[in-house]
Amino acid sequence: MIETRQDLEALDCADDLREFRAQFELPPDVIYLDGNSLGALPRRTRERVAGVVEREWGRDLIKSWNTADWISMPQRTGDKIAALIGAGKGEVVAADSTSVNLFKALSVALRVNPGRHLIVSEKTNFPTDLYVAQGLIAQLGGDLELLLVDGTDEALEAVLAERGAQIGVVLLTHIHYTTARMYDMRRVTAAAHNAGAVIVWDLSHSAGIAPIDLHGCDADFAVGCGYKHLNGGPGAPAFIYVARRYHERFMQPISGWMGDARPFEFLPGYEPAAGISRYLSGTPPVIAMAALEASVELILEAPMEAIRRKSIALCDVFIALMDRHCADSALELISPRDGAWRGSHLSYRHEASYPIMQALIRSGIIGDCRPPDLMRFGFAPLYLRYVDLWDAVMRIAEVLRTREWDRAEFRSRQSVT
């Protein structure tokens, strides 16, 4: 039972991950509850990027493609991400953006069962996932169709049972970007396979924060971004996973030179590289890739079981404090209370979500909003303390009690946060 701030200080003292906080750059006057949208800067990442800029680029110039092995950064970083998502070496590459990688994955997935014309996703999936599917359908034409269903395991199983012979691909986000609801990956993947479909998972809100076992679930394809819980920096490279059984069967559609079998022979005809390397396209963004690689290395030093355990505990404590201190404020929690099926952020509904969040940000409590009426609070176990939750909730309660947010400067939608 959490009664006082000292109770949370005691949890911090007993925290297995408490030493990791010192490895991040965190402003002293900020409680950062938005790591699910942009992860904080690891200090080793700053040092790694400085080394790339000052030494590898600044001194060694083009030689660093060989001496610093820039050329293999997508595969090397991909192998490190693979260890976080239950994939094997040579099944993940870091490259491009989540949207581009999703385009690649969907394009290949649709060719696994060419006689099937349905892509199934959920109605409230992250918009870019739906946009990419819609754009691909418009490009390919024919009778391809995007079928949107309610976002529950049961709704998906029902449509797979009813229309399974028509479904080629199931496209889902493992942890929902607003509600934080988590799918049962093993159950849903098995249901898709039983219907003869392949599945593409978006891991953007789960990679680095929750245990994932792509091999154990027999997943087909997965994508994810590098700047949320992987802490790779704004616009960090994304990643793509392709199960080994598909590597040699298909060629992805963006056949750039880095995905060629012999890129430095500069041949006029494209020949896809062996394995996961064929999912590369253009030249890797070395500075951004160095930031992502260093950040992933830090995450790998923390046991994923401990990360997940603290993630659940942080959310549980925040919910309990909000229930107690903000009960009369018209806030509605829309995220699952059961931590087993919840990611590492919480969303609350309030008709004045935007001005409330602006007032909180002004006072050093940084979360974010999703329209029309949601406030999101993210919980990054490697650098967030339990005591931060007490301080944040006390400030939230004060803003709601005094209606500080109900002023013109907080209602103007100028901020992108």
* Residue pLDDT, tens place only, 72-126: 999 999 999 999 999 999 999 999 999 999 999 999 999 999 999 999 999 999 9
* Per-residue pLDDT at 413: 61
Is the distance from CB of 42 to CB of 294 less than 8 angstroms? yes
Residues in a beta bridge with 242: 221
pLDDT digits (tens, 9 = 90+) for 289-302: 999 999 999 999 99
Q: Which of 34, 202, 260, 388 is catalytic?
A: 202
Q: Note the pLDDT of residue 408.
A: 61
209 in Cβ contact with 307 (< 8 Å): yes
Catalytic residue among 21, 104, 181, 376: 376
- Matching fold, domains 5-17+304-411 and 49-300: no
Q: Catalytic one among 228, 278, 342, 385?
A: 228
- The share of the chain scoring above pLDDT 70, in percent, equals 98
Of 40, 83, 65, 93, nearest to 240 by C-alpha is 93
Among 24, 103, 177, 227, the one annotated catalytic: 227
Q: List C-alpha distances in Å: 285 to 124, 237, 323.
A: 32, 8, 45
202 counts as catalytic = yes
Q: What is the mean pLDDT of residues 47-62?
A: 98
CA distance 263 to 273: 9
The CATH number assigned to the domain with range 5-17+304-411 reads: 3.90.1150.10
Please compute Rg for the chain using Cα positions.
22
Q: Are 208 and 230 in contact (CB under 8 A)?
A: yes
- What are the boundaries of each domain within the chain? 5-17+304-411, 49-300
**Which of 20, 24, 32, 126 does the annotation list as catalytic?**
126
Answer whether residue 416 shows pLDDT above 50.
no
CATH of 49-300 among 3.30.590.10, 3.40.640.10, 3.40.50.300, 3.40.50.1820: 3.40.640.10
Mean pLDDT estimate for the chain: 96
Active-site residue flag, 228: yes
Instruction: Grade residue 417 by pLDDT with cuts at 50, 70 and 90.
Output: very low
- Lowest average pLDDT, out of 36-45, 151-160, 166-175, 202-211, goes to 151-160
Q: What Å distances lie between residue 384 and 22, 31, 204, 223, 307, CA to CA? A: 11, 8, 20, 26, 11
